[in-house]
Amino acid sequence: MANVGILFFGLVGFFTIHSVSIVSEPWRDRMVAKIGEWPWKGLYSVLAIAAFVLIVWGYGLARQQPLVLYTSPHWMRHVTMLLMLPVFPLLLAAYLPGYIQRHTRHPMLAATMIWSFAHLLVNGTLADLLLFGSFLAWAVVDRISMSHRVQRPLPFTLKAKTNDATAVIIGLMIYAAFIFWLHGQLIGVPLLRHTT
């Protein structure tokens, strides 16, 4: 349980930092006015990275002694892989304004919700429930809050007529890379197991 505790504190820190605008955007604006935009972003980034490191560390430790809460049927893996198809195109669409961004309104949050829900379908340990469940809940809350506050534009967005095609093509290429290689290399769980 101590390993899950590290994950828990990492998640609390990560979502506390990322929920400042949800809870009190006027306070966030006062702090930016007081210390400056770049110092605020610097502090925000350092705290977010530290919390993310705790999440990765805690999740890795918790996977060594998992507490299984439920087990999914094998065919659910195919459902998860299908649900994951739009995730990377949506993430890229957040930085590539076009039809996809206009009609999803918040493509990064949509990608987070799909990603977390899809992984909950096939990962049933306590650590998985904490990790993916908290990301899903936060994304839903943030999506709702967006309708009540002015959305700040994301930095480094690129405007071009080919943005949608770029998001889809490169997003699907990243998806394929994860399916065939990156998921096993980065997460330690190969998605395609070869049998002899």
**Cβ atoms of residues 149 and 162 within 8 Å:** no
Segments forming the whole domain that contains residue 176:
67-196
Is the pLDDT reported for residue 195 higher than 80? no
pLDDT in tens, 18-54: 888 888 888 888 888 888 888 888 998 999 999 999 9
Same domain (yes/no): 164, 91: yes
Same domain (yes/no): 92, 139: yes
Nearest to 30 by CA among 22, 15, 40, 38: 40
Same domain (yes/no): 49, 92: no
Same domain (yes/no): 97, 193: yes
How far is residue 155's CA from residue 70's CA, in Å, rounded to a whole number?
A: 40
**Cβ atoms of residues 22 and 141 within 8 Å:** yes
How far is residue 153's CA from residue 156's CA, in Å, rounded to a whole number?
A: 9
Same domain (yes/no): 136, 188: yes
**Cβ atoms of residues 167 and 100 within 8 Å:** yes
Same domain (yes/no): 127, 164: yes
Is the pLDDT reported for residue 187 higher than 90? no
Burial class (CB in 10 A: 0-12, 13-18, 19+), 153: exposed
65, 89, 113 - which closes a domain: 65
**Mean pLDDT confidence for 82-93:** 96
Same domain (yes/no): 98, 180: yes
Q: How long, in residues, is the chain?
A: 196
Please state the pTM of the whole predicted model: 0.87
